[in-house]
Chain A
Amino acid sequence: AQSVTQLGSHVSVSEGALVLLRCNYSSSVPPYLFWYVQYPNQGLQLLLKYTTGATLVKGINGFEAEFKKSETSFHLTKPSAHMSDAAEYFCAVSGGAGGTSYGKLTFGQGTILTVHP
């Protein structure tokens, strides 16, 4: 079984401030981890993903996330928020190859990011 918990359904930051969106997961097999972004009235777009290898993953639009196995976390950060970052962000986990959850993507509840001028 796998699950994802995103801490904080709403996060508000000022433009230029650090963005930190928290994600904790549980998985019975080594996980594949994803962050997706959803802009208003649009579908989901992949921001970044972790499968294997380097634990610090860089994505689009200046976002990055670090896989910490000991903390079962995959928090999303961006050093300086921009107004265009306002959106809803979803963390997701998928079982890796060989597990019964292979191909099954489980999402967190989502975090709405608001950026103030």
Chain B
Amino acid sequence: EAQVTQNPRYLITVTGKKLTVTCSQNMNHEYMSWYRQDPGLGLRQIYYSMNVEVTDKGDVPEGYKVSRKEKRNFPLILESPSPNQTSLYFCASTPGTGLNEQFFGPGTRLTVL
């Protein structure tokens, strides 16, 4: 089944404790993104990657890191999480075509205490 998977789905952590949220897609898509969803703000793009070893900042990149060592994986790293990073996070992928339809993962709900 074609899908985007994220792990963990739920995470409660404390300020400053490094964490990684994994994202994997099995559709051979070139383009992958991370978004955060906050009430009243919709989804905002954190980082995106147009292919292996090619990443760039989205609209809200502060406090986050990403890497793209393999085409299928695009982990999101929070080196020193803070409470304002409490949010619902979505990974998405899209083929490198002009259609730009994005396929979303199920989401990761992160709480930083």
Alpha-carbon distance A45/B90, docked complex (angstroms): 12
CA distance A36 to B106 in the complex (A): 14
Bound complex: CA A51 to CA B100 (Å): 9
CB pair B102–A105 under 8 Å, yes or no, is: yes
Tell me, yes or no, whether B79 is within 8 Å of chain A by CB: no
A34 and B50 within 8 A (CB): no
Say which residue of B40, B42, B44, B100 sits within 8 Å of A103 (CB atoms).
B100
| A63 lies within 8 A of chain B by Cβ | no
B43 CB-CB contact with A under 8 Å: yes
- For the complex with contacts A106-B45, A107-B44, 8 further pairs of A-B residues with Cβ separation under 8 Å are A4-B42, A44-B104, A45-B104, A96-B98, A103-B31, A105-B102, A109-B40, A110-B42
When A and B form their complex, which 4 residue pairs have the shortest distance between CB atoms, in order from nearest?
A107-B42, A97-B98, A107-B43, A94-B100
| Interface SS of A by simple majority | strand
Q: Which residues of A contact B92 (CB under 8 A)?
A: 105
Chain A residue nearest to B43 in the complex (CB)? A107
| Contact code string A96-117 (vs B, CB < 8 Å = 1, else 0) | 1100001111111110000000
- Judge whether B104 and A105 touch: CB under 8 Å: no
Q: Is B105 an interface residue (CB 8 A)?
A: yes
- Chain A contacts of B105 at CB under 8 A? 43
**Quick check: is A74 within 8 A (CB to CB) of the other chain?**
no
Contact B106 A43 (CB under 8 A): yes
**In the complex, A43 Cα to B3 Cα: how many Å?**
12
